[in-house]
Amino acid sequence: MDIGSEQWKILVEEGAGTLDIHIKRKITDQFSIHAVELIKWNRKINLTTIIDPVEVAVKHFLDSIISVRIIPEYSRLLDMGSGGGFPGIPLKILIPSLSVTLIDASRKKISFLKHIIRDLKLSGIDARQIKTGELAREKTADNCFDVIICRAFSRLDKIILQAKPLLAKDGIIIAMKGKLSGSEIKTAGKYKTSWSVIQYKLPFLELERSLIIIKG
């Protein structure tokens, strides 16, 4: 099976269905463009270590859209450490009304993100080469995001520390992680925030994942 093939698209659609997320073919067509370009650019710059077709479908795209039901339409969303565009771009494709900002410290990764945004003809989405701490120091960025999301970005306490200054009133932080350790939860507990944890398994690969939702 090749990435972007008909078989690959069916795999994504069936996998989404097992997560109770129903996506149309035009969505998987866009996912396919993103995936093909990701692998093509990955030969030149380090975007991902995941290159197996099934793993790309599951670990990048299906994992990215798991939070779609808890993100309100028209939200201003920040994807911290977006890398190859995950989860921000798949979420934008699924929820077109989102206003999305993708940030990453790597100039090369931002070049890829700007390229794929153009390729997909997406509007209401921007990619910036900037660190989260630097963004927080921009006065225009204070408290301006309704949803801040990140995947495999850092420890939970560091995520909260960096995201809090950028979070709007009543906003949420969504941290996408593997299996949570007790020590990580204990360390993050010092911030006295209200949070919940959704545990799930990725289809086909049966990998355990955790979605931590932190209220501002």
CATH number at residue 208: 3.40.50.150
Instruction: Tell me if 1 is assigned to some domain.
Output: no
Place of tokens 């931590």: 212
Q: What is the pLDDT at residue 192?
A: 54
Instruction: Tell me if 202 is assigned to some domain.
Output: yes
Q: What is the pLDDT at residue 182?
A: 61
Task: Count the domains in the chain.
Answer: 1
Answer yes or no: are the C-beta atoms of 53 and 2 closer than 8 Å: yes
Per-residue model confidence as pLDDT tens digits over 114-127: 999 999 999 999 99
Under the banding of pLDDT at 50, 70 and 90, the label for residue 153 is: confident
The boundaries of the domain holding residue 134 are 6-215
N- to C-terminal Cα distance for the chain?
Answer: 43
pTM of the model: 0.93
Instruction: Tell me if 107 is assigned to some domain.
Output: yes
Q: What is the pLDDT at residue 139?
A: 61
Q: What is the pLDDT at residue 136?
A: 83
Percent of the residues in the chain that have a pLDDT greater than 70, as a whole number: 91
Residue 178 has which token pair?
A: 């593997």
Q: What is the pLDDT at residue 190?
A: 58
Q: What is the pLDDT at residue 80?
A: 96
Q: Span 57-81, mean pLDDT?
A: 97
pLDDT above 60: residue 106: yes
Instruction: Tell me if 152 is assigned to some domain.
Output: yes
Instruction: Tell me if 134 is assigned to some domain.
Output: yes
User: Would you give the DSSP letter of residue 180?
Assistant: P
125-129 and 76-80 beta bridge pairing: unpaired
Measured at the CA of 163, the angle between CA 154 and CA 97, to 5 degrees, comes to 110
User: Torsion angle of alpha carbons 120, 121, 125, 129, nearest 10°?
Assistant: 70
Per-residue model confidence as pLDDT tens digits over 175-199: 998 876 666 665 655 555 678 889 9
pLDDT above 80: residue 135: yes
Q: What is the pLDDT at residue 137?
A: 84
pLDDT above 80: residue 142: no
User: Would you give the DSSP letter of residue 214?
Assistant: E
